[in-house]
Amino acid sequence: MSTDGRFTFIVAGEAGHGVRRAGNVAADLCSGMGRYVFQMDDYQSLIRGGHNFSVITSAPQPVLSQFLRADLVVALDKRSVGLHRDHLSTDGTLVYNSDAVSDAPEGAVGLPLSSLAKDYPRPDLRLGVASIVVLLVATGFSRDEAADFIRRQYARDVENNVKYGLSVYDAAVQILQGRYHLARGDAPATMLAGNEAIALGAYAGGLDMYFAYPMTPSSSILHFLAARSEDLGVVTVHPESEVAVMNMAVGAASVGARAAVGSSGGGFALMEEGFSLAGMSETPVLCILSSRPGPSTGVPTYTAQGDLGFALNQGHGEFPRIVASPGSIGEAYELAAELMGLAWAFQTPAILLTEKHLSESRMTVQLPSDLPEIPEPLMHEGSAAEYRRYENTESGVSPLRFPPSDALIKWTSYEHDESGITTEAADIIAMMQEKRLRKRKGLIEKLRRMRTVNRYGSSRNVVVTYGSTAMSVREAVAIGKLDVQVVQPVYLEPFPEWEFEQLSGSGVIVVEQSCEAQLAALLKHRTGVSVRNSITQYDGRPFDPEELAARLKEVLANG
């Protein structure tokens, strides 16, 4: 274990071994001890046979990332031994399924996990229980405590799970008992995945209806809200396609429902025409874009930041867009609520841009009891006879009115006059273009009064990053004890150029998960800030903090 009490556990095996469930249980175990936890799942897009593993890093103090250098690895099949033997820390322990592995590395601990499971139903799935029992033994739990924990966590077929778990306990106790001591902490008890935080944040922002067609890694938002639709009162709809998703959301918003949609890059490409419809019809829709490597199908279950340019330029034609990206799971909650409010205040679509790494990772969070003030939409207070849906106001924002009403309320995809009546007159076309773009000026004025950039530290050495990569960078700076200021733009469109004026005379380091260094290009284009070095990674995996700390040290040493 590290000197600061950080402990990393990896469970690995085939899809069908219960690995992801075991990862969740291990994370809950550490969280229940008051420890701060970060959990990352790595899995292939295969229902059976693909390699899955879960990394759970915990510590008595806040932890913002997984660490691949593990103290304890439980390998449930032969492939997992080969893939994870090099992930062990200097004094780490590899426990393997001796029924599946005949040539384990020296010093590894073999346990007959499959043999012990063969007399129980679904023996392969039972292996996930074994990995948790190994963790319980290694961290000093008694036999009775282990049995109680299994009962709580594996309630389905509970008696067989307990019997099997205790047989594993008896096989492991003489070798592993109490090998690691996990200090208790005072972390918040709540464990949330990024998508859960986004869903709850949108709900806090007034979400009425959520539309989505399942596409990894955004799918769990749909599942989370559907499972809680009665409790939250959010109508959750799974239409036949992403085209229908966006069009239904625009229709819902046009009658006053606060609507959100979610997808990944490929699905969002199908929503693009509907996104432009929202721009022309001035419809507020919160859009959640959770990125994975592309193009096309890409690598469905891995992470990337290659959709930045796609998000910034979403939709055809000229109209205001809002794009923002959370740098932590807690911030994802706040930002989802904030973006919902801004979309309605300025009657324009907003994109919450994130990545698989944030969407599906889990960590201990303390959600704020109070959200930043969320602006209310401008409502029409005059008579029905005088209502014009697209009134040409000084701000560009027209008052809203919803059914039931005696007023003519016309939302349209065609260019139109102030009443929403179709037009091709040159002067009216120009007037309405200018009206829509005036909203961007007001939006920028609003953003200048908000927190649009996060800063960590005060060094003259500046690292700029965004999204989930901010968690990796902050952890790398901490463990590397680097003299660095981390600057994380939260809002990306409109880009908060005013926040970077003080950096115009100095070179910065940009860290991102994009092979084309899209954030670096955006920074140079919008601010003129000199980028002295870009650190990129684009293999679908998030940065490991220890490896990233070494890369940052090298760049800093070279000036």
CATH of the domain at 166: 3.40.920.10
Query: For residue 471, what pLDDT is reported?
Result: 98
- Are 498 and 538 in the same domain? yes
**Cis before residue 404, ω within 30 degrees of 0?**
yes
Please identify, among 145, 176, 207, the residue that sits at the C-terminal boundary of a domain: 176
Of 260, 258, 269, 273, the residue nearest 212 (C-alpha): 260
Give the model's pLDDT for residue 373.
80
Percent of the chain predicted with pLDDT > 70: 99
Last residue of a domain, one of 176, 200, 215: 176
- CATH number for position 477: 3.40.50.920
Same domain as 154, residue 46: yes
Element (H, E) at 282: none
Residue 166 has pLDDT above 80, yes or no: yes
| Element containing residue 336 per DSSP (H, E) | helix 329-346
Mean pLDDT of 139-143: 97
Tokens of 195: 């998508």
Residue 371 covered by a domain: no
Residue 374 in domain? no
pLDDT in tens, 322-341: 999 999 999 999 999 999 99
Same domain, 108 and 121: yes
Strand-pairing partners, residue 222, are: none
Give the separation between CA 344 and CA 11, rounded to whole angstroms.
44
Look at residue 379 and tell me if it is in a domain: no
SS in 3 state form for 47-73?
CCCCEEEEEEEEECCCCCCCCCCEEEE
Looking at the structure, do residues 498 and 404 belong to the same domain, yes or no? Answer: no
435 CA to centre of own chain:
35
Q: Is the pLDDT of residue 153 over 80?
A: yes
Taking residues 40-59, report their average pLDDT.
92
Q: Is residue 26 included in any domain, yes or no?
A: yes
Distance CA 99, CA 219 (A): 36
The C-alpha atoms of residue 35 and residue 553 are separated, in whole angstroms, by 29
Inside any domain, residue 372: no
Residues 277 and 292 in one domain: yes
Asked if 139 and 172 touch (Cβ cutoff 8 Å), the reply is no
- Residue 156 sits in the same domain as residue 44: yes
For residue 371, pLDDT over 90 is answered with: no
Q: Are 389 and 417 found together in one domain?
A: yes
- Residues 441, 464: one domain? no
SS3 state at 284? coil
Round the average pLDDT of the chain to a whole number and report it: 95
pLDDT tens-digit readout, 517-550: 999 999 999 998 999 999 999 999 999 999 999 9
Does 230 fall in a domain? yes
Mean pLDDT of 77-104: 94
Domain hosting 232: range is 191-364
- Contact residues for 246 (Cβ-Cβ < 8 A; gap 6+): 211, 261, 270, 271, 273, 274, 275, 277, 278, 285
Beta strands in 459-519 (DSSP E): 462-464, 485-489, 491-493, 507-512
Using the 3D structure, point to which of 149, 176, 203 is the last residue of a domain.
176
**pLDDT tens figures, 380-435:** 999 999 999 999 999 999 999 999 999 999 999 999 999 999 999 999 999 999 99
Q: Are residues 38 and 115 in the same domain?
A: yes
Q: How many domains does the chain have?
A: 4
The pLDDT > 90 percentage for the chain reads: 92
Which pLDDT does position 558 carry in this prediction?
A: 85
Tens of pLDDT along 430-479? 999 999 999 999 999 999 999 999 999 999 999 999 999 999 999 999 99
- 13-31 pLDDT, tens per residue? 998 899 999 999 999 999 9
Confidence of residue 505 (pLDDT cuts 50, 70, 90): low
Residues 398 and 333 reside in one and the same domain? no
pLDDT, one tens digit per residue, over 168-212 is 999 999 999 999 999 999 998 899 999 999 999 999 999 999 999
Residue 167 lies in a domain: yes
Within a domain: 500: yes
196 and 321 share a domain?
yes
| pLDDT of the residue at 484 | 96
Q: For residues 40 and 361, give the distance between their C-alpha atoms in angstroms, rounded to a whole number.
A: 5
- Which tokens go with 64? 């913002």
- pLDDT at residue 47 is higher than 80: no
Q: Look up the CATH number of the domain holding residue 321.
A: 3.40.50.970
265 shares a domain with 171: no
